[in-house]
């Protein structure tokens, strides 16, 4: 063991990183650690950096403990749990000076990799577990649980909290509770006897997690679909969106199955590809069900033709795009916001779509419900643009709640009596001046019948190749998009709004930006911050753009797609917009934002600015 | 709530179905296809079949892809909703629509290009999923709407209008459907309405995916000498192995067949299809035999028409497998779909 000379006390404010091998069951140990800290009232967030692989490749998990409640990825590692020999050299380098590293000392590691500015602890995890457990697989699993025990001792995590969690998790398999607790105790006792417990970085009980939950965005989105009353889900599996359908299906199997007859109030269709998935959603929505499809970039590419049909024939559809990295297959297990343009203008011809931008799992829940209301109100596709960071990582957010007085906005669907009262039904008339026509469903009344087509049609729904008739319909669609501006969620403003400089951003950039704002203020840089929550941009976005001399547009893609949308779709002068771009696939950090903002404003870097 | 179309002015002597509607009440818009196009005859057969079944127009849903054939959904039963989607993707729209409301009758009309080239995948998977619908392929061996290119059903050696011979092996929709496990497979000819109408009726009544491949000559691009999909060639080579009569529920007792002459296929609603076998070499319930029989006939250049295969297995239909509620999902009240505030509060315990 080597002890670094300088280890400042860091209560409830540090980052632990776990370097593991994919498929060894490390996830449950890491989650156990995170939840224990959460239950001790200390804000935490977890980020999983995993490979596109099922077994054998390196995978990392990062827990940020932050008394102030910042949810962004931390920029440094204070404690490394180095369980993967393959990545050991890299993992050692990543620890910040004064930090700690733990490794399995059953097998000695090269002294070359040691650093003298960090503290390295060796714990013979494999040996301890081999002595206490039988079976190869079991020993590997228990080794991970064992290090959770070591960490509990080092970080002063309450063993009782851990025990409760383990008991809850294996409520139906008491034998596993004993085995897991035995492994925890093994590690805990070893650390108590051999290591300087607790460390200067450790946990102290707080009460800052009351009323909060740890949940990932995909689960919240799936739950949103259930609560919105969606009955048809169609999909083709793709990382990182798969969790949405898993959650929807899981909740439905609990909540939407008649306990006596076993009849199900939902259908999940695993399509043959994304073309079929969106086709199913279009068919179901056209026929009056709330239907959705979760996907990611490659899926959206395949869905394009149908999205144009839904736009032009005015059929509702909800598409959840959990964005991943890059063109083509890219990096499926990394995060980006790179589908803004492709979703905004999906399909050939003049098309424009409504997009919603959740910033965290809590908003995934509320905006998913909103997506269904908007799709049916506007009779058009609506995208929920989440991303891998929001979708697959556990975030601490206020508990999801539901207002029982909510009624879904099913839009302008004529009832049997309304149809009966009409002399004649015509599909695409703008009767209310909001450019939204009325629709009817099959099976209700023969007078309600109309022919839905993606080919040229006039305002009566009839086939046309007449220029004026064609144009009349597509011009109304432009006005309908204007109506959309008044219906989509408002942006969120931080700051007084009258500062010279503003940051404009969206989605998962929110956490790092909010944290950066605190730091920028501390070094004398006060800026306003507007987080847009939807496309098309409404009046509040226009006002923000008009009111600021310089607008820093922060986003996670290479080509400044949000900035492009702003220049295309608002009155802003292009020269006022300064792009701040992050696109390496990792979640953004507050350090990145702070430096980039100072740099963009010509105020040197954060460190230089002190 | 449903209501019946006010009958259009019709001669009092026009025959009426059980709903009191005449054939006129089942007509659609004016066809814009070429005069003599086989597809128009199929439209007429569908109109006749639906009228004969006394289906309420509003309870029929018409779906199609893109092509001359796909246009025809606008030319029958104007009291039914229609959806003319994108090329080759009608099956997915039908699947979604059916998922939302399984109480309606779904008819999909497609072409050989729409179904066997661009849409082969979707057709195959709609069969596998066993979506309850009638799927009609109006098969002319060419892409009519894009002016006569060979389609995937063109026979080897058949000549295009310009004289080129097709070299690629064809996809036969009936063999395809049989191999994928479709519960109802039939083949008809647009020129034989007498045979086609009962096939359509039986297909509409079949509780699951029903496919009818209808040979339907394209008079403009594929009706010349040297084409194996022309009227003349088809008339000469189609082989009515089985003649089918659809017998509505009300008449099942009245219609009399001599013992041994007809094979009765009862349908789930009490009506039946009576087959008069012209060939006795195969049994429609035996998929393998049906396959080898029509395959062998194809090798001889003969298209076996009639009901090729039927097995009623309602338990394999999409909703039966899913155990979907009896009430259509699109009519489900929100209160039954939304678990409410208290349940959410309970669910949240898992995330602490
Ligand atoms: C994505 C796409 N590609 C190409 C076309 C052009 N296209 C329209 S109809 C058609 C072929 C139709 O052939 P078939 O289904 O056999 O119908 P038919 O006209 O012969 O009845 C093609 C290629 C299209 N509409 N969409
Ligand atoms: S081109 Fe051929 S398929 Fe199309 S309408 Fe004319 S005859 Fe029919
Ligand atoms: Mg064709």
Atom of ligand 2 nearest to the CA of B219: 7
Neighbouring-strand partners of residue A543:
none
Q: Is the predicted ipTM greater than 0.90, yes or no?
A: yes
* Range in A164-173, A590-599, B274-283 with the lowest mean pLDDT: B274-283
For residue A347, how far is its CA from the centre of ligand 1 (angstroms)? Answer: 18
Residues 6 or more apart from A240 whose CB is under 8 A from it? A218, A296, A322, A324, A332, A333, A335, A387, A388, A391, A392
pLDDT of amino acid B10: 62
C-alpha distance from residue A291 to each of A207, A402, B135 (Å): 40, 20, 24
Mapped onto helix, strand or coil, the DSSP state of residue B106 is strand
* Range in A110-119, A459-468, B43-52, B340-349 with the lowest mean pLDDT: A110-119
Q: Is the pLDDT at A158 greater than 90, yes or no?
A: yes
**CA–CA separation, A246 and A237 (whole Å):** 10
Residue A263 at interface with chain B, using a CB cutoff of 8 Å: yes
Q: Is the pLDDT at A260 greater than 70, yes or no?
A: yes
For residue B315, how far is its CA from the centre of ligand 3 (angstroms)? Answer: 34
**CA–CA separation, A216 and A365 (whole Å):** 10
pLDDT of amino acid B280: 54
Q: Who among B61, B125, B325 is closest to A276 (CB)?
A: B125
pLDDT higher at A89 or A545: A545
**CA–CA separation, A561 and A580 (whole Å):** 11
Averaged pLDDT for residues A128-154:
92
Band the pLDDT of A140: cuts 50, 70, 90: confident
Question: For residue B154, which phi and psi values (nearest 5 degrees)?
Answer: -65, 135
Domains of chain A: 10-209 (3.40.920.10), 215-398 (3.40.50.970), 416-487 (no CATH), 492-609 (3.40.50.920)
pLDDT of amino acid A6: 52
Q: Who among A280, A447, A453 is closest to B99 (CB)?
A: A280
Fold of B23-319: Rossmann fold (3.40.50)
**CA–CA separation, B275 and B252 (whole Å):** 13
Q: What is the pLDDT of residues B104-157, one digit of tens each?
A: 999 999 999 999 999 999 999 999 999 999 999 999 999 999 999 999 999 999
Cis peptide before A198 (omega within 30 of 0): yes
Q: Which residues of A touch B61 (CB under 8 A)?
A: 287, 442-443
pLDDT of amino acid A149: 96
Q: Is the pLDDT at A277 greater than 60, yes or no?
A: yes
For residue B145, how far is its CA from the centre of ligand 1 (angstroms)? Answer: 6
Averaged pLDDT for residues A36-61:
91
Q: What is the pLDDT of residues A338-353, one digit of tens each?
A: 999 999 999 999 999 9
Q: B98 with B320: CB under 8 angstroms?
A: no
Cis peptide before A536 (omega within 30 of 0): yes
Band the pLDDT of A461: cuts 50, 70, 90: very high
Mutate to test the pocket of ligand 2, among B44, B144, B223, B231 (most ligand atoms within 8 A of CB): B144
- What sign results for the dihedral spanned by CA atoms A365, A371, A372, A373? positive
Buried b (16+ CB within 10 A) or exposed e, A17-39: bbbbbbebbbbebbbbbbbbbbb
C-alpha distance from residue B117 to each of B72, B87, B160, B171, B303 (Å): 19, 10, 18, 9, 21
**A556's tokens:** 């996670």
Q: B173 with B211: CB under 8 angstroms?
A: yes
Q: What is the pLDDT of residues B228-286, one digit of tens each?
A: 999 999 988 887 776 777 776 656 544 444 544 556 666 666 777 666 655 556 678 89
pLDDT of amino acid B257: 46
Q: What is the pLDDT of residues B76-100, one digit of tens each?
A: 999 999 999 999 999 999 999 999 9
Parallel, antiparallel or unpaired: strands B133-139 and B105-111: parallel
Question: Which strand ranges, in their side-by-side order, compose the sheet holding A58-66?
Answer: A44-49, A58-66, A13-21, A77-82, A95-104, A119-123
**CA–CA separation, A202 and A307 (whole Å):** 51
Q: Is the pLDDT at A466 greater than 50, yes or no?
A: yes
The helices-and-strands tally (H runs, E runs) of chain B is: 12, 13
**CA–CA separation, B97 and B47 (whole Å):** 22
Distance from CA of B62 to the nearest CA of A (A): 9
Averaged pLDDT for residues B174-193:
95
pLDDT of amino acid A5: 43
Q: A3 with A98: CB under 8 angstroms?
A: no
Q: Identify the residue whose C-alpha is closest to ligand 2 atom 5.
A: B33
Averaged pLDDT for residues A111-116:
72
**Per-domain residue ranges for chain B?**
23-319
Which residues does a 6 A CB cutoff place in the pocket of ligand 2? Answer: B 33-34, 37, 39, 68, 140, 144-145, 218-221
User: If you search the block for the tokens 């020269």, which residue do you land on?
Assistant: A575
Mean pLDDT across chain A: 95
């Amino acid at each position: 063991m080597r002890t670094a000379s300088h280890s400042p006390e860091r209560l409830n404010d540090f980052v632990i990183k776990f370097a593991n091998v994919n498929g060894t069951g490390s996830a449950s140990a890491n989650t156990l650690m995170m939840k224990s800290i959460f239950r001790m009232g200390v804000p935490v967030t977890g980020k999983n950096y995993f490979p596109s692989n099922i077994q054998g490749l390196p995978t990392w998990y990062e827990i940020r403990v932050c008394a102030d409640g910042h949810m962004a990825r931390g920029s440094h590692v204070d404690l490394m749990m180095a369980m993967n020999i393959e990545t050991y050299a890299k993992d050692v380098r990543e620890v910040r000076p004064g930090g700690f590293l733990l490794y399995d000392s059953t097998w000695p590691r090269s002294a070359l990799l040691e650093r003298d500015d960090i503290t390295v602890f060796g714990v013979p995890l494999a040996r301890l577990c081999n002595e206490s457990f039988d079976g190869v697989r079991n020993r590997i699993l228990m080794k991970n649980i064992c290090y959770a025990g070591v960490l509990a001792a080092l970080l002063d995590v309450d063993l009782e909290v851990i025990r409760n969690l383990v008991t809850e998790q294996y409520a139906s398999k008491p034998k596993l509770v004993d085995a897991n607790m035995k492994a925890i105790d093994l590690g805990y006792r070893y650390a108590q006897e051999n290591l300087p417990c607790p460390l200067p970085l450790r946990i102290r009980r707080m009460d800052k997690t009351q009323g909060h939950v740890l949940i990932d965005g995909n689960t919240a989105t799936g739950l949103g679909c259930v609560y919105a009353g969606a009955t048809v889900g169609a999909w083709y599996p793709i990382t990182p969106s798969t969790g949405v359908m898993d959650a929807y299906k899981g909740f439905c199997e609990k909540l939407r199955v008649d306990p006596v007859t076993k009849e199900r109030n939902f259908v999940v269709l695993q399509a043959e590809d994304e073309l079929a998935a969106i086709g199913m959603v279009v068919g179901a929505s056209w026929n009056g069900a709330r239907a959705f499809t979760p996907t990611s970039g490659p899926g959206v590419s395949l869905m394009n033709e149908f999205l144009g049909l839904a736009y032009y024939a005015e059929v509702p559809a909800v598409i959840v795009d959990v964005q991943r990295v890059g063109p083509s297959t890219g990096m499926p297990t990394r995060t980006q916001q790179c589908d803004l343009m492709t979703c905004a203008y999906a399909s050939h011809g003049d098309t424009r779509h409504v997009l919603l931008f959740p910033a965290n799992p809590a908003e995934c829940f509320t905006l998913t419900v909103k997506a269904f209301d908007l799709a049916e109100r506007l009779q058009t596709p609506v995208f929920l643009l989440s991303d891998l960071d929001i979708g697959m990582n556990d975030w601490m957010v206020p508990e999801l709640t539901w207002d029982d007085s909510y009624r879904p906005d099913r839009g302008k669907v004529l009832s049997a009596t309304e149809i009966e009262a009409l002399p004649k039904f015509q599909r695409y008339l703008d009767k209310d001046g909001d450019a939204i026509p009325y629709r009817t469903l099959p099976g209700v009344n023969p007078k309600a019948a109309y022919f839905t087509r993606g080919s040229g049609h006039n305002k009566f729904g009839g086939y046309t190749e007449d220029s004026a008739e064609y144009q009349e319909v597509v011009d109304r669609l432009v006005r309908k998009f204007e109506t959309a501006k008044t219906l989509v969620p408002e942006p969120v403003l931080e700051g007084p709004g009258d500062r010279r400089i503003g940051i404009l951003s969206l989605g998962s950039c929110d956490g790092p930006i909010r944290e950066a704002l605190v730091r920028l203020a501390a070094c004398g840089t006060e800026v306003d911050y507007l987080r847009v929550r939807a496309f098309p941009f409404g009046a509040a976005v226009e006002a923000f753009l008009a009111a600021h001399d310089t607008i820093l547009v922060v986003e996670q893609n290479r080509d400044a797609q949000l900035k492009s949308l702003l220049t295309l779709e608002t009155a802003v002068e292009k020269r006022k917009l300064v792009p701040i771009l992050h696109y390496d696939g990792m979640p953004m950090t507050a350090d990145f934002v702070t430096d980039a903002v100072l740099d963009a404003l010509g105020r040197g870097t954060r460190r230089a600015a002190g | 709530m449903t209501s019946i179309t006010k009958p259009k002015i019709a001669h009092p002597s026009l025959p009426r179905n059980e709903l009191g509607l005449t054939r006129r009440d089942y007509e659609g818009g004016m066809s814009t296809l070429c005069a003599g196009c086989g597809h128009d005859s199929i439209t007429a057969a569908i109109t006749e079949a639906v009228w004969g079944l006394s289906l309420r127009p509003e309870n029929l849903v018409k779906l199609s892809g893109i092509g001359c054939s796909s246009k025809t959904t606008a030319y029958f039963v104007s009291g039914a909703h229609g959806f003319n989607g994108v090329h080759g993707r009608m099956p997915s729209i039908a699947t979604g629509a059916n998922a939302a409301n399984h109480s309606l009758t779904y008819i999909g009309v497609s072409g050989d290009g729409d179904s066997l080239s661009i849409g082969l995948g979707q057709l195959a998977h709609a069969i596998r999923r066993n979506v309850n619908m009638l799927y009609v392929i109006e098969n002319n061996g060419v892409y009519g709407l894009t002016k006569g290119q060979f389609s995937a059903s063109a026979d080897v050696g058949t000549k295009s209008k310009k004289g080129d011979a097709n070299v690629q092996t064809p996809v036969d929709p009936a063999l395809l459907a049989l191999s994928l496990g479709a519960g109802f497979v039939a083949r008809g000819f647009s020129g034989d309405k007498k045979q086609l109408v009962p096939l359509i009726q039986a297909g509409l009544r079949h509780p699951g995916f029903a496919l009818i491949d209808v040979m339907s000559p394209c008079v403009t691009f594929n009706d010349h000498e040297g084409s194996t999909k022309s009227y003349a060639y088809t008339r000469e080579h189609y082989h009515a192995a089985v003649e089918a009569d659809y017998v509505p529920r009300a008449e099942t007792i009245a219609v009399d067949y001599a013992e041994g002459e007809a094979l009765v296929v009862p349908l789930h609603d009490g009506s039946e299809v009576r087959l008069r076998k012209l060939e006795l070499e195969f049994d429609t319930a035996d998929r393998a035999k049906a396959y080898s029989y029509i395959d062998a006939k194809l090798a001889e250049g003969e298209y076996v028409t009639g009901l090729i295969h039927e097995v009623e297995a309602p338990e394999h239909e999409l909703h039966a497998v899913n155990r979907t509620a009896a009430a259509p999902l699109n009519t489900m009240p929100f209160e039954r779909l939304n678990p409410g505030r208290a349940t959410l509060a309970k669910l949240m315990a898992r995330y602490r």
